[in-house]
Amino acid sequence: MKIKMLAASLIFALNTHASAFTKADELLNAIQTQNKPLVESLVRNGVNPNLDVSVYNTTPLMHAVDTSTVAIVESLIKHGSKVDVADNTGTTPLIYSIKTNKQEIASLLIQKSRNINMQDNKGASALHYAAKKGNETLFKQILKSGGNLAAIDASGNNALFHALEGRNKRIINKLIETKQFDLAHKNKSGETAIKVAQRVGLVDVAKRISRGRN
């Protein structure tokens, strides 16, 4: 009798897991095909909008950022998807949207985020990535939402270093004008902001930074 009960319990558990897996696949497919009514129906009827859907600890929201539309992303958030989560590389939906140039989605995620300064496994934040992409619109939006200019990544790069890599002079000038950066600061490669500016070909910026140090 105990063996039969154990077997029945195991079968029930396997069936339950298989059902959940099928529903998760159905949700991901609905996201990818931009089927908003089906997405909303699935999450309303019990499919967890925050479940891990890959070995990389990605969520349906991350999948939507990658493959779908701002309407689907907004719908998932409305139905409980967490914005401030990270996969196993520390990448958040916001960081991923910036890295992949999903402007409208990134703007929405900035509005919905309650922890705008989350950093990935490299220590880089959304502000860093916006600066490195040279995306002035998102950079300003993140700043207005509490982006931390003092954050330094695992390689010792601050927002100014990332902005120099992005070569957007308006962002660079804005950061220099804040006077919040130690212009003598060196990253772990031994580079100062002047050295980075010279390396990326921004000779005029390097001269301006040099004048600022004197």
* DSSP notation for 143-191: HHTT--TT---TTS--HHHHHHHHT-HHHHHHHHHHT-S-TT---TTS-
| CATH no., domain 119-213 | 1.25.40.20
Report d(CA 138, CA 191) in Å as an integer. 26
22 with 30: CB under 8 angstroms? no
Give per-residue pLDDT as tens, 4-50. Answer: 433 444 333 434 444 555 778 899 999 999 999 999 999 999 999 99
Going from N- to C-terminal start, the domains of the chain cover 119-213
pLDDT band at 56 (very low <50, low <70, confident <90, very high): confident
The stretch 181-186 carries a mean pLDDT of: 94
95: which 2 tokens?
A: 């960081």
State the pTM of this model: 0.87
- The per-residue pLDDT for 15 is 46
pLDDT of residue 213: 56
Greater confidence, 211 or 185?
185
CA distance to 87, 113, 150, 162, 166, per residue, from 156 (Å): 23, 25, 11, 11, 17
Alpha carbon distance 116, 164 (integer Å): 22
